[in-house]
Amino acid sequence: MTFYDRKIELQQLKAQAKEIKKRLEVLETKISRLCQARPLSDKWKAFVDEGKCVGCGTCEKTCPTHAIKVEKVAQVDETACIGCGWCVGQCPKGAIRLRPWREGEKVRKAIRHGIGYPKLGLG
Ligand code: SF4
Ligand code: SF4
């Protein structure tokens, strides 16, 4: 191995170490968020005001349980949301808030308003 080869290898190793350090930082941030994320209660879930959401994706990136998916606007998977409220503070448009949640709420609302289940995505 020539001096030049060693120099190249050293540069590659340094680049790999830098990449690993970066990934480690991301993992540490995720771990720290997961540790901070405490369920307020099973009865609280995040809700998105679709009129305010601009689909920036900040909430999706920061949710510790990956409960949010953003296509045009953010959608919350209530089964994965633990009601920690992290996304509420992260949204730049104030489009997310926590609301009390009861199991079967959508079904009850559909019955109350006489709306068909398929319209609520329950069909
Ligand atoms: S409150 Fe927001 S950040 Fe927390 S789990 Fe639910 S969707 Fe994710
Ligand atoms: S952070 Fe707020 S504006 Fe951005 S996608 Fe999420 S809900 Fe929408």
Residue spans per domain, the chain: 1-36, 44-120
Q: Smallest Cα–Cα separation from 66: which of 25, 75, 28, 24?
A: 75
Question: Of 63, 66, 75, 77, which is best to mutate to test ligand 1, by the most ligand atoms within 8 angstroms of its C-beta?
Answer: 63
| pTM for this predicted structure | 0.59
Establish whether residue 53 lines the binding site of ligand 1, counting it when its CB lies within 6 angstroms of any ligand atom: no
> What is residue 47's three-state secondary structure?
strand
Query: pLDDT digit string (tens) for 58-84?
Result: 999 999 889 999 999 999 998 889 888
Query: pLDDT digit string (tens) for 16-46?
Result: 999 999 988 888 777 766 666 555 556 788 9
Query: Can you spell out the DSSP letters for 68-106?
Result: EEESSSEEE-TTT-----HHHHH-TT--EEEEE--TTHH
Task: Classify domain 44-120 by CATH number.
Answer: 3.30.70.20
Establish whether residue 47 lines the binding site of ligand 2, counting it when its CB lies within 6 angstroms of any ligand atom: no
